[in-house]
Structure 1
Amino acid sequence: MNRVLEEMEFLARSANRGDVLTALTDAPHDRQALAAETGASQPTLGRILRDFEDRDWVRETDDGYTATATGRLVAAGLTELSDSLAAELHLREISEWLPADDLGFDLRRLGEATITTPTQTRPSAPVGRVIDLIEAADHVRILSHAFNEATLAAVVEWVADGGTFEGVFSAAAIEAVADEAALGEQLRRLQASEGATIRIVEESVPLAVTVADDTVSLLLRDEQGRLQAAVDTDDPEVTEWATDLHGRYWADARPIADSDTDTFGDTP
């Protein structure tokens, strides 16, 4: 293990080392091409290449320097670590609210995601971000344990303007909406719309996922249920995961019924 740590330290001491090894993994380079791509000086490149040759990570060919099989192995690990650390840094401030056990994709896929958090002047900014994505889309799917007032109102108007909506909600989420007279009326309007289909699952739903065309948004809450962030991305792997997840819940859900949207005041 000590030798492994020594090699990690060797690579970490100079950003140029990683850049050079990655470049030589992509294609053979001579020193001039390496200098142009990495910004390293010729004396620095000389030292790096000698060190790499001593480790059998690179060799010189007629086409220039190129990475060996073990050099490519090291470069792949270095790239993976770099991507992991970049994603971790990007997600660090919201990491405690990420439902990692329920996310069926590599978290590195969120390394360039848009993160929207509440502010003092815009406490509902995460919901606003999701609504913006909905209003810019043609087709929206939602899987969620909640249907908040702002999103419900936006979806009702958006569907009236021609959008198509497929929502899967927990029974508890629909009950909470139906128990509020004004929200229940909005829900009935949505239920009656030609462009909207709503289904219900009896069990709890651990996530709040919106798929607006090809963009996925996750609403993150803390243990007390307070909204902490919206995270959205158009990464294809995340979009595929979210679409499949919605489809699995959709297949097990039942259509919403008139009785689901009755408020307590409507029932004897």
Structure 2
Amino acid sequence: MIKDTHPPRDLLIEVVRRAPMIGVLREEPLDRRDLERRLEISKSTAHRNTTSLAERGLVERTEGRYTLTELGAAVADVVATFEADMRTVMRLAPLFDAVAGLRPRCPINAFSDATVTTADQGDPFGPLARFVSLVTETDTLRMFDSYAVAPTYIDEVHGRVLDGLETKVIERPEVAEDIIENYPQKCVELCASEFLTMRLHDELPFGLVILDARIGVGVRDPDTGTPRAFVDTEDPEARAWAETLFESYWSDATRLRRFNPKALREAIEPGA
């Protein structure tokens, strides 16, 4: 007969409930008063928690201080890993929303060390600022749905493109129209530079940026359309995914031969 090696359900529940105490005891043994102070709990709560953990073989009292047993230390390591993983998952919440159901499937684990810049961190222009800082460090730029990353990107990359920044962009037709309408002179200059190539695609899932060293995903707020978050990483697996995704959309996109209203109309309505 195979012995069931799964931990009892009540133990799992207890470990989750007592995680804060397990966490502080992982750092060092503490007496009851220290536990009360560190955890900001009452004497009765400290007693109840330590008693419960001791009954399950996770904690023992030695010379007036509570310390983790060997089993308790192993459990504490698991709890710490779980908490770190949960923090990563919550940081990447905007990315989960953006890539759901996408093919090729996004390698979420490759973004575990990503830099996540959100608009709700006290700076509504945080995602744009992060993108701009990365553009200053690259010699090539590929991106699609730029307004999910940087609604004013023409202003931000105009000078770099004129200086030779090789740039490929895929835009939704309405975005390209908005850019041409609002930045006519810069569009003429960019077109003349021959360093910017643009194509059009009706359906782009989010903003994607591929730089020399990093790749990034820009997520828009579904209600306002403004940038909500920018998630960037230098992970090779994430880069391989981003490049495959970009090339797929690039091959399906409509070529915009010139960056001006006439070329845009011809691309949207061939033969017009």
2:233 is equivalent to residue 233 of structure 1? yes
2:210 is equivalent to residue 211 of structure 1? yes
- Report the counterpart of residue 48 of structure 1 in structure 2: 71
- How far off is 1:195 after superposition? 2.4
In 2, the alpha carbon distance for the partners of 1:204 and 1:89 equals 27
In 1, the alpha carbon distance for the partners of 2:208 and 2:173 equals 16
Relative to 1, partners in 2 of residues 1:98 and 1:254: Cα closer, same or farther, differing over 3 Å? Answer: closer
- Report the counterpart of residue 127 of structure 1 in structure 2: 128
- How far off is 1:174 after superposition? 0.8
Q: Which moved further from structure 2: 4-13 or 97-106?
A: 4-13
- How far off is 1:119 after superposition? 6.3
Q: Which moved further from structure 2: 230-239 or 4-13?
A: 4-13
SS in 2 for 1:154: helix
Say how many residue pairs are matched: 218
- How far off is 1:80 after superposition? 8.2
- Report the counterpart of residue 168 of structure 1 in structure 2: 170
- Using structure 2 for the length normalisation, give the TM-score: 0.62
- Report the counterpart of residue 257 of structure 1 in structure 2: 257
- How far off is 1:11 after superposition? 6.8
- Report the counterpart of residue 32 of structure 1 in structure 2: none
In 2, the alpha carbon distance for the partners of 1:105 and 1:80 equals 23
- How far off is 1:158 after superposition? 0.7
- How far off is 1:137 after superposition? 0.6
- How far off is 1:85 after superposition? 1.7
Unaligned runs of 5+ in 1: 19-39, 53-74
Encode CA deviations 1:173-208: one digit per residue, 9 max, x unaligned: 21221232xx1332232233232222222x221211
Calculate percent identity across the aligned residue pairs: 22
Task: Write the letter of the residue equivalent to 1:250.
Answer: W
- Report the counterpart of residue 90 of structure 1 in structure 2: 91
Relative to 1, partners in 2 of residues 1:215 and 1:120: Cα closer, same or farther, differing over 3 Å? Answer: closer
Are the equivalent residues in 2 in contact too, given 1:168–1:253 (CA < 8 A)? yes
Relative to 1, partners in 2 of residues 1:257 and 1:136: Cα closer, same or farther, differing over 3 Å? Answer: same
Encode CA deviations 1:53-83: one digit per residue, 9 max, x unaligned: xxxxxxxxxxxxxxxxxxxxxx9x9898566
Task: Write the letter of the residue equivalent to 2:248.
Answer: R
- Report the counterpart of residue 111 of structure 2 in structure 1: 110
- How far off is 1:88 after superposition? 1.8
Encode CA deviations 1:63-120: one digit per residue, 9 max, x unaligned: xxxxxxxxxxxx9x9898566423123335x478544333832434333322223369
Task: Write the letter of the residue equivalent to 2:204.
Answer: V
- Report the counterpart of residue 200 of structure 2 in structure 1: 200
- How far off is 1:139 after superposition? 1.1
